[in-house]
Amino acid sequence: MDTKLRKYRSYQTKWKIVAVVVLFICAMANFFCGIVTANISSHWDKDIIEAGSVYETYEFRSQFAQVLDDVIMTEVYYRNENRILSGELVDRDELIVDFKRYYGIKDGIITGNTSINEDFDGLVIHGSIPNSLKTNFNEYKELVESRLPLYRKMYIQNQLDEYKRSVRFLSGLTNFVYYVEDAYGNVVAGNTTRGEMSNIDRTVVLSAGFSNDTMGVMPFCQKNALMENSDYKIYAGIREPFAFGDDFYDLGQEYTFAKTSLPILFGVFTVSTIIILLCLIYLFRVSGQGEKGGKVTYLAVDKIYNEVHFLLICGLITSSTLFGFALLSNILRETAIFWAYIFTTILGVVYIANVAAIVSYICSVARQIKGKIFLRNTWVSVTIRRMAELFTGKTFRGWMIFVMLCYGLGNCVIMGAIILTAQLGLIFICFLSALGLLIFNAFCMFLFLRALRSLKRIMISARETSKGNLQFKLNLQEISPSFLNFATDIANIQDGLKNSVEDAVKGERMKTELITNVSHDLKTPLTSIISYVDLLRSLKLEDKRASEYVDILYDKSYRLKQLIEDLIEASKVSSGNITVTTTRVDYRQITLQAIGELEEKIEAAGLEIKVSCPEPLYISADGRHLWRILENLVSNAAKYSMPNSRVYIDIFQAEGRGILVMKNISASPIDFDETRLTDRFVRGDASRTTEGSGLGLSIAQSLVEAQGGTFGIKVDGDLFKAIVSMPLWERKNEPYYMEDDDTTEQATSEKE
């Protein structure tokens, strides 16, 4: 008896519960190991594994370079408070640009014909100001005279605050040591001496035209250019080991913790994973049974088709993985501890839900295998059995045969009764039998007409579905039993089509969002690449080939930047994520201004543009978007037109619309369908050697359609013709504007 109890003890419920609890505890241990490892990896990247010490990590070099930048700004650029307060360090161009941005001043006719004097308290007029802009000029003049001197003081105060902050920061450092020498070798600033610096191994020497870096931090410095214009020399180093008291010490402690934590986390994760696998094997063995070889007990989840169950689990895991990565990125970026805990908790709940679903599925498969119903409980098996029902009378055909047999048998029985009662002379019973025959056939006719009415409803539903009306609902309660299965199938088709349309729309939206997000993710490293290429171009490279390579990198990076920006804009336009504000715009004037803005490109291409528009033509459009349309068309003509040819632009009114027709001769043959030119990434140059991205015409077409216009392209041999049709301005009682009206000026200034 004791042997039998020990034999079946592993099937007891309490041990199953213990196995499940242990499994989830180990799963949570793996979760926390993953979270901690992700935090360490996001902070240290692969440096935590490859670096032999904290001094070899990206974090240390970046932090050291940041402090070195503060030293350059404080001791080389600012030097003392008197230089700041005297205004010697005021960047005139930067001050004016910031002043205009702060007060929302747009460059245009007024700013183009005036300049700010040397004392920042008045304007110097170089040209003439139109009478229509006198009021705006007076406002601008008053703003410059009254606010610009105060803004200059605020600018100087900001520099002073930054200088004081840097001084306080540098004075609080205990591990970063430095001193600054002037041109005569005199120490003018620092927190250490030459003697102490000579005993430090990890040092950096920085001056104009010379640098010595034993730590590899120079690529991280942003202020090196300031040293080129000074006669100062900076000596900087780091103490070893770190002393308590500043951020470098904290960084060293974090590195030590991370370096020692990773092996422990890996060990815990490995042990937990092995325990989880053992628990799954145990649960697979004992699931659904109270004793070995006993009766299998099924649960409600076992009724789900196995293929469907598997796909649900895969879908849950996939969606949870995507959602989990999104949450994890928020956790790693979040600086507020409260929200980091909230996101971690949500991620933990999602993780545990997935573990529970996987364990439930494995146990369900185990129960069905033990009960020998695994293959039977599949959608394929059920489908085969239902197809077999076509020959067993359980489907529509069997139902119709049953109804017809009942109808024929009923008529035969009643007709036999009529004949029998007539022969026996039972006239009253014969009359009742004849009346019953009439009632029976009338009832059958009613059922037949009801079935036809149901069929009509099904046909109407199918017709509405074919028209694209997926919102039409077929009421199954009004369908006769004969066509109920048919009606159910039609309703399922409607639901399936509706879901397919929704999935297609969702997929298109996801594709657009993917393009936008990936483009944004590409812009961040590309900006860094462009910045470093600019820094390389600013250096005087002695190797001519290296200088040529840098120029190629510069051209290609800016071309890639333009492609990404065009891709983002195309994504926004195609998804409708733009705002359109229509105003009155002079079609002729904004076209001439667009040509003027691109005059250098046009002259470089050797083109001559002929504009035909005798008088102003006012249309209803958004100035910003119309500017981009015209810019794309003119740029397209400059890129692909035959050199030393003419481009003709005709602007006229026809059928209540303003029409612009641009014609040019293509430099290369247009040997493909003209309708493809407005597709994305389709370019006139099949070799793809020009600087275009293939998005200009696509963006232009989308922007035109968003403003209620039409965009068309015609090709006749090598003659390329673009047609932009926009609605005319029809608002009544609108005050008259000059050609340099606010709408056109606003579009021009925003473009600039």
Question: According to the model, what pLDDT value does residue 22 have?
Answer: 93
Q: Are 130 and 110 in contact (CB under 8 A)?
A: no
Strand bridging mode 646-654 / 657-665: antiparallel
Whole-angstrom Cα distance, residue 265 to residue 258?
A: 10
Question: According to the model, what pLDDT value does residue 751 have?
Answer: 39
Mean pLDDT across 177-182:
90
Question: According to the model, what pLDDT value does residue 732 have?
Answer: 44
Q: Are 187 and 180 in contact (CB under 8 A)?
A: yes
For the residues of 334-377, what is the DSSP string, one character each?
---HHHHHHHHHHHHHHHHHHHHHHHHHHHHHHHHHHTT-TTTT
Mean pLDDT across 494-515:
70
| Helix, strand, coil % in the chain, rounded to nearest 5 | 65, 10, 25
| pTM flag (> 0.85) | no
Q: Are 48 and 58 in contact (CB under 8 A)?
A: no
**Higher pLDDT pick, 726 / 735:** 726
- Find, among 478, 430, 431, the residue nearest to 454 by Cα: 478
Write the DSSP symbol of residue 80.
Answer: S
Residues 6+ apart with CB under 8 A from 633: 662, 696, 700, 722, 724
Q: What are 383-407's pLDDT values in tens digits?
A: 777 655 544 445 555 556 656 777 7
**Residue 48 pLDDT exceeds 80:** no
Mean pLDDT of the chain: 79
Q: Are 609 and 595 in contact (CB under 8 A)?
A: yes
Q: Are 566 and 693 in contact (CB under 8 A)?
A: yes
**Residue 619 pLDDT exceeds 70:** yes
**Higher pLDDT pick, 661 / 513:** 661
**Residue 15 pLDDT exceeds 60:** yes
Mean pLDDT across 328-339:
75
**Higher pLDDT pick, 403 / 704:** 704
Local confidence band at 710 (pLDDT 50, 70, 90 cut-offs): confident
Local confidence band at 748 (pLDDT 50, 70, 90 cut-offs): very low
Mean pLDDT across 173-188:
88
Local confidence band at 745 (pLDDT 50, 70, 90 cut-offs): very low
User: Residue for token digits 């369900």?
Assistant: 364
Local confidence band at 415 (pLDDT 50, 70, 90 cut-offs): confident
**Residue 209 pLDDT exceeds 50:** yes
Q: What are 63-83's pLDDT values in tens digits?
A: 888 998 998 888 888 888 888
Question: According to the model, what pLDDT value does residue 467 have?
Answer: 66
Per the document, the length of the chain is 752
Question: According to the model, what pLDDT value does residue 654 have?
Answer: 85
Whole-angstrom Cα distance, residue 474 to residue 471?
A: 10
The answer to which of 367-376, 425-434, 559-568, 580-589 has the lowest mean pLDDT is 559-568
Whole-angstrom Cα distance, residue 528 to residue 423?
A: 109
The answer to which of 95-104, 546-555, 634-643 has the lowest mean pLDDT is 546-555
Q: Could you tell me how far CA 189 lies from the centroid of its own chain?
A: 49
**Residue 678 pLDDT exceeds 90:** no
The answer to which of 233-237, 329-333, 618-622 has the lowest mean pLDDT is 329-333
Mean pLDDT across 256-277:
89
Question: According to the model, what pLDDT value does residue 741 have?
Answer: 44
